[in-house]
Amino acid sequence: MEKGVLKRWIKENDGLHSQATRHPFILSIRDGTVDFSSYKRWLEQDYLFVRNFVPFVASVLVKASRESENDSDMEIILGGMAALNDEILWFKKEASKWNVQLSHVVPQHATEAYCRLLEILINPETDYTTAVTAFWAIEAVYQQSFSLCLESDSKTPAELMQACRRWGNDDFGTYCESLRRIADRHLAHAPEDVRKKAEEAFKLILQLEVDFWNMSFG
């Protein structure tokens, strides 16, 4: 089996990948200059995103149960779903801490565009390999971004440490590695057209993540 293709895709798309994982918004959290109104905008929109992300992850779980020969795929994805339950509770607590009314949030263009991709990926016609590759990409961008804000020389404001730990912590990193291995294993056996679709989804997600950060940054 070839060495994982996903690390190669990251290298081949280095520019876009860096824009997604080292975005000025994240760097402003890291250097302590973040504008809290940007953070609040991100919080509102990401709550909407996560509400749409849950059914997507559920669809990946269904596909894993039908298409994966490896039992551990389902267990890892199920662990991700369980974490999302906690994440939704966290968003609600965090919103009340910042006086943000989640029930009144209007989706911005970048959120709508991202949720439209999730809808396509939820479709039963989207194969498991593409769906699980997309799942990994979505989680890994956040993991890499927020882990920057936890580095020892970072000046992340205390108020934002919880958010950064949520996606930047080592356990979340290990979970993303597990997702990468699942996706790589399926990509290694996938026919060329499926690989192409998965690669397109990967690149599109990087762009949608950049647009999402841009929206928060204002």
Which parts are annotated binding residues? 46, 87, 139
209 is annotated as an active-site residue: yes
- Using Cβ positions, the residue closest to ligand HMH within the complex turns out to be 142
> How many Å apart are CA 160 and CA 146, to the nearest integer?
10
Confirm or reject binding of residue 142 to ligand HMH (CB under 6 A).
yes
Which of 46, 73, 127, 199 lies at the binding interface for ligand HMH (CB under 6 A)?
46
Contact with ligand HMH (CB under 6 A) among 9, 49, 135, 202: 49
* Binding status of residue 201 toward ligand HMH by CB under 6 A: no
User: In the set 138, 148, 149, 183, which binds ligand HMH (CB under 6 A)?
Assistant: 138
Nearest to 136 by CA among 197, 65, 77, 64: 77
Report, in Å, the least distance between residue 69 CB and ligand HMH: 27
Residue 25 within binding range of ligand HMH, rule CB under 6 A: no
3-state SS assignment for residue 156: coil
In the bound state with ligand HMH, the residue whose beta carbon lies nearer, of 111 and 126, is 111
Select 9 or 53, whichever has its Cβ closest to ligand HMH: 53
Measured from the CB atom, is 39 or 142 closer to ligand HMH? 142
Minimum gap (Å) between residue 112 Cβ and ligand HMH: 12
Q: How many residues bind ligand HMH (CB under 6 A)?
A: 10
Q: Which residues contact 126 (CB under 8 A, 6 or more apart)?
A: 120, 197
List binding-site positions for substrate.
46, 87, 139
CB 26 within 8 A of CB 149: yes
Task: Report the alpha-carbon distance of residue 22 to residue 165 in Å, rounded.
Answer: 16
In eight-state DSSP terms, residue 108 is P
Residue length of the chain: 218
How many alpha carbons lie under 13 Å from residue 68 in its C-beta half-sphere? Answer: 25
Q: Is 139 in the site for ligand HMH (CB under 6 A)?
A: yes
DSSP single-letter state for residue 32: T
**Residues contacting 56, CB < 8 A, separation 6+:** 118, 121, 122, 135
What positions carry a catalytic annotation? 209
Interface residues with ligand HMH (CB under 6 A)?
46, 49-50, 53, 138-139, 141-142, 209, 212
